[in-house]
Structure 1
Amino acid sequence: MWSCNFGPMTRLLKSMWVAVCVGVVTWSPVAQSELQLQDVTTGLTVPWDLVWGPDNHIWCMEKTGRITRIHPDEGTVEEVHQIPGVYQSFDNSGAHAMMLHPDFPAQPYLYVNYTYSEFRGRLDKLTYSLSEGAVVASETLLDELPGNSSHNGSRLQEGPDGYMYFCTGDMYMAMIAQDVDNLGGKVLRMDWDGNPAPDNPFGNRVYSYGHRNPQGLTFSDSGQLYLSEHGPANDDEVNRIVAGGNYGWPHIEGFCDTPEEVSACDSLTQIPPIAAWTPTEAPCGMSYFNHPSIPEWESTLLLCFLKQQHLKVLHLDDAGESVELEEKMWEQEMGRLRDVLVAPNGRVFLATSNREINGWDFLAQDLDDRIVEVVNPDHDYDVLAPRPIREVFLEQVAAQTHVVNVVFPQPAHTDLSVLLDRELDEVSFRVFDTHGRQVMGADNMTLSVPGLLNVSVTQLASGMYVLRVATADGHTQALPLVVKRR
């Protein structure tokens, strides 16, 4: 990617200046926990995004589009879905971002961003079926995303305001980052169906703009949003994102520290980064950390690096508006680091990215990709026992006492569920159409979760039905059912 505002000498001077500044703020704490690295699972292919699920499993999406559910203690890998049609170029296109719906699995949706052709990307909403234990349906929310062999971004995050935040790259088309009517080079803010949040600053999906190639997105405990992004040959950045903010690309790279940039800053009201690095180090996934499991890391940003192959710990000031100190961890020990995940009990997981480098397999290290846990042996971690997804679902349903003996969701798309008024181990059921004809059913069906009937309705056409449930003691009840195919 070329830069629009620097000549070779200016770049050299800027590189020397920033290198000195970064050297000043680098810091190693006097008292550190004796942290250990432990493999969770191996044999992955460029695990791009890690998500902690309500089932206390690690949900992982690889660059290939494979989505897996990983037991954090045993390392077992369960494939949930393979996104069809993921386009992978010679460079970095592929599957890039994933998140679960905030009310998953009661709202059984996963959200994924990936490229499907050389120049196009999309955001899909996937439907997970409890009965199938896999993704069974897909709906495209955004299909007009520009794409390219690289600079696609991206990350997805749930905001404290209940909206979805989605960062995108400039797709090697630098000037679209300054166009608030184009979705490239932006942070987008949407509801869970992909619609613009009503109070967005430009009346569309755009929340902030002027981004080059965002690779990390995270919220702090206080609700501040941070983004990491790649610079060209200089000025990788971490930015604090505010509504309507212009972060400068391609007119400004890093801080306003050259005559050309000062002029641009005056006209653009650009928001400077809270950290920048020259030469570039390729920052990637990022998570906010604030847990006593590693005391010296409290109120920090954990940031993965690809080119320089380490984890940076960025210590924020009390307001969270600047980086006061930075600490470099495990340089060259695990290879390239793609993502970092912080579990609710303070466990930290890292994903490597060694199976290829910018799409070139022959440049890759002789290492498979893996998920590695950072462990503090002196900390007594709270137990978050991995659970079946059905158990989580039952817990969510039981919290809504008004749904006993009611079919939900209505309409049903792929599965229906009924929370019975007794914790039975088995029931029989029949489904009848509006002509009274039986269209499906089962006798003495064993319930995987006592008291919760869950049935796949993928074989039913859209329409109205009656669900009749019968227990072994002769009790029956008829419940209305609406099915709507997508």
Structure 2
Amino acid sequence: MERRTLLTGFAAAGSLTLLGCSGSDDKREPTPTRAPGGDSSETAAPNAVDPKIASTVATGLNVPWDIAFLASGDALVSQRDEGSIVRISPSGNVTKVGDVDGASGGGEGGLLGLALAPGDENILFAYVTTAADDRILRLTLDGGSIGSQEPILTGISVGSRHHGGRLLFDPDGNLFVSTGDAGDGSLAQDKESLNGKILRVTQDGKAVDGNPFDNRTWSYGHRNIEGLVYDAKGRLWATEFGDQTFDELNLIERGGNYGWPDVEGTSDNRDLINPKVTWGTDECSPAGLAIVRSTAFLGALQGECLFAVPLDGEDAGKPKAYFSGDNGRIRSVTAAPDGALWVTTSNTDGRGDPGPDDDRIFRVTV
């Protein structure tokens, strides 16, 4: 394994909203990283943010994994272990849309990412783990309920963990899909494998013309990406779970190799792309990701907080942690049409300590 760069930091201090996620006085804050020889100076966010929980949108949900907003402001939310989709209004009304075929819970699997077809709210794409494989389904929505369910991409290797599962449309109507390594790191370096990748496929699940390797692979060398989003300038960012050392925030490049399983964190190998920010794996476990006001907001499962990372172009500054330990595990973070964030807890996922109202969705103003 490549020699990893150990980051130094500072002791957390100040008010709760500025503490590191661990809440421990001797924990190091995560710091931004650069490729060897790069500029290591910190970057201030062009617009200062001050996240606050404005309200609780909904309670009593089952592992709310992803959120897809409709033009009305209502949201479709995937419930991982139940394999169901619910519609939630900004006022908190929850209506079941239906169950997704074949969704197999257990471990980290079940119903994961959602993405509405551009310009057509009657077509919804879903990432599902089944007993046989991970796959992408195209669902039709008819009268507020799920109609047909058609697999468009199958054969993604399935394991008890590391599914990836995030879906995101590009400006041309093609679909980015993040896949995990299914517990087999060697798959991440195999450009022909569907695992340990960001894939770019058509709405029929085929490789897009112009992909870097003439197949579905867009980038590779990933362990487990659960956050995927564009910034305002069309740059693609992703959050990635590490193994024993570093979690990552990455800027994704076409055809890029992100190092797993040979590298975790930063490396002096210039054939690999270094993360913009790393955290210790006991501090973060980054899941959902949204970018609002030149700031990347990511949910921290292990860290039990919301991280805010200031962005300036391709550079990332020092993260700050908000709501540390107040609400348990934080998973999905999605920008709402009104500019706020919807943030989900993940305390019913078998690794948390659920309260009587879990799981919940908060509306967070920034």
TM-score after normalising by structure 1: 0.65
Tell me which of the two structures has the higher relative contact order, counting C-alpha pairs closer than 8 angstroms and 6 or more residues apart. 2
Partner residue in 1 for 2:134: 121
Task: Tell me which amino acid in the other structure corresponds to 2:235.
Answer: Q
Deviations 1:50-97 (A, max 9, x none): 11112321110010211011111x2001111111321112x2111111
Q: Give 3-state SS (helix, strand or coil) of 2:188's partner.
A: helix
| Residue matched to 1:278 | 280
Matched with 2:201 is: 190
**What does 1:64-463 align with in structure 2 at a 5 Å threshold?**
64-72=82-90, 74-89=91-106, 91-105=107-121, 108-117=122-131, 120-130=133-143, 133-256=144-267, 262=268, 265-266=269-270, 269-280=271-282, 281-289=284-292, 298-317=293-312, 319=313, 321-358=314-351, 364-367=353-356, 368-375=358-365
Cα distance between partner residues in 1 of 2:240 and 2:323:
21
Q: Indicate the SS of the match to 2:187.
A: helix
> Secondary structure in 2 aligned to 1:23?
coil
Q: Is the 8 A contact 1:338 1:351 kept in 2?
A: yes
Counterpart-to-counterpart distance in 2, 1:220 and 1:210: 22
Unmatched runs of 5 consecutive residues or more in structure 2: 11-27, 33-41
Is 2:44 aligned against 1:41?
no
**In structure 1, what is the Cα distance between the partners aligned to 2:365 and 2:83?**
29
C-alpha displacement of 1:283: 0.4
Does the 8 Å contact 2:341/2:364 carry over to 1? yes
Equivalent in 60, 71, 80 of residue 54 of structure 1: 71
Paired residue type of 1:101: A
Q: Deviations over 1:191-214 (max 9, x none)?
A: 111111101001111100000011
Going by fraction, where is helix more abundant, 1 or 2?
Answer: 1
- The structure that has the greater radius of gyration is 1
CA contact (8 A) 1:356 1:364 kept: no
Q: Is contact 1:19-1:277 (8 Å) kept? A: no
In 1, the alpha carbon distance for the partners of 2:246 and 2:52 equals 30
Q: 1:364 to 1:33 in 2, by over 3 A?
A: closer
Distance 1:54 1:33 in 2: 26
Distance 1:307 1:190, change over 3 A: same
- The Cα offsets for residues 14-69 of structure 1, whole Å up to 9 and x where unpaired, read as 6xx32438637489999864834311110101000011112321110010211011
* 3-state SS of 2:7 partner: helix
Q: 1-side partners of 2:48 and 2:334: how far apart?
A: 24
Q: Matched residue of 2:310: which SS?
A: strand
- In 1: Cα distance, 2:196 partner to 2:190 partner: 9
- Amino acid paired to 2:176: Y
Give SS of 1:177's match: helix
Contact 1:54–1:104 under 8 Å retained in 2: no
How far, CA to CA, are the matches of 2:76 and 2:320 in structure 1? 28
TM-superposed deviation, 1:166: 0.7
CA RMSD of aligned residues (A): 2.3
Change (3 A) 1:34 1:327: closer
Deviation, 1:224, is 0.3
The alignment partner of 2:289 has SS state of: strand
8 Å CA contact 1:153–1:214 kept in 2: the answer is yes
- Counterparts in 2 of 1:33 and 1:176: CA distance versus 1, 3 Å: closer
Q: 1:230 to 1:33 in 2, by over 3 A?
A: closer
Letter in 2 for 1:233: Q
Q: Distance in 2 between matches of 1:346 and 1:184?
A: 33
Matched residue of 1:44: which SS?
Answer: coil
Long gaps (5+) in structure 1 = 257-261, 290-297, 377-486
Q: Residue 53 of structure 2 contacts residue 362 of structure 2 at CA under 8 Å; is this kept in 1?
A: no
Aligned equivalents of 2:212, 2:229: Cα separation in 1: 20
Distance in structure 2 (CA, Å) of the matches to 1:181 and 1:271: 20
Deviation at 1:161, TM superposition (A): 3.1
1:98, CA displacement in angstroms?
Answer: 0.8
Structure 2 letter corresponding to 1:159:
D
- Give 2:24's aligned residue: none
The percentage of aligned residue pairs carrying the same residue is 33
Q: Supply the AA of the counterpart residue of 1:111.
A: F
Shift of 1:375: 3.5
Change (3 A) 1:300 1:34: closer
In structure 1, how many angstroms separate the alpha carbons of the residues matched to 2:236 and 2:189?
A: 20
Q: 1:32 to 1:299 in 2, by over 3 A?
A: closer
